[in-house]
Structure 1
């Protein structure tokens, strides 16, 4: 078998139970549907999970404060302009980093982390009951493609955060959804 996801908590509990019943590693792996080496690593205690992937944080709290000051000077700047000014202040980043730093405050980050840790050990069966959806609006006429307004919570009605726009631009809203369908192996 090729490299797959780490064993779930349920799979680990089943492995321990079957081992206490005297089953061999081969029998356990066939019953659970994972590789024999995964069973062996779990039983020997060498299964530490995968290394954390992803890039390390490239900005500091000080750099984030600098970006906030740049945004507050002109709230209608594009991401490219924000990135250019932030780079001039000594922070080398991508457009995506700029976008994440401006929009997410500490409370939002904490909510995302809480949600992720709650779902960290979900099984495939639990995820198969989740429907992921997204929507996008595409404007056909000029008027609604103005610059993004960067503002904090509670600054919605401040004059420096408002800009005029076309009342009824021609646009199309597209919505899509997807979910997991999986066939289970019967033993």
Structure 2
């Protein structure tokens, strides 16, 4: 049921919509003239309860409703300072330190005020530890490459190793189940003490990805040179053909060994100088993350099934995905400069 009075306002099923400025002005004027609330409601085109609430709300000398706050602004500033001093403390420890400063408040009040300040308890992002020297080298490197365009970065072949496990940690998929199905085998996620894993080497450019290499042993200089000979060179032919390219690798011992450097010189392949502990600058790290997220719902039973799943998922990577990741390099460089060499969101 909808009743309407002129164009001032309307009432819906006995409950009024928010009063307009015109309605509020009409109510205030008629109330000053001594009109009854029933007459005011008819003139303003709203319910009588809305008129009553508006008049009471505008009444002079009305005190603020609700319980008086038990903490002052100064107490709240103290709480915020305590939280910022050590962001890894739990609510109990923060509350104990806050009350020790002379504040009388409950633990729930402490938690509520922290939320009101914008603090939320989250799993921290994991980043490599960087000392001052490494930060400075990252900053210098970024400033040196800040004028490189996306077209120049497309000439770089990025490479890296990554470890894949049969189980992908505790942050795996959730399961849909009914009451009483907690022990249903189809609702269980298997875990073992020492899960099988494989180490994989891969390479990418803006044109796509190269063939994967599954590493069977610890990677030393000799093993790494075999990977370069049998997998990196074919990947270069596949992605670049006869065009020139620059090879990127991190500073792992096998990569920076003298025999490896000699191998690159003998083959006439330029290697991009790279700062230490800088996975956020390598777009293939993001590609490994994409592949692992796609594999989250796979349930391989052994290492061979795991390898087959990795191969199948790697084959689904499109050149468009690689191109977007390579295009992010100028933004990554800018982020490192802005962070003065510290880790970035990438």
TM-score range relative to shorter protein: 0.3 to 0.5
Larger Rg computed on CA atoms: 2
Structure number having the greater helix percentage: 2
What TM-score, normalized by structure 2, do the two folds share? 0.24
What TM-score, normalized by structure 1, do the two folds share? 0.38
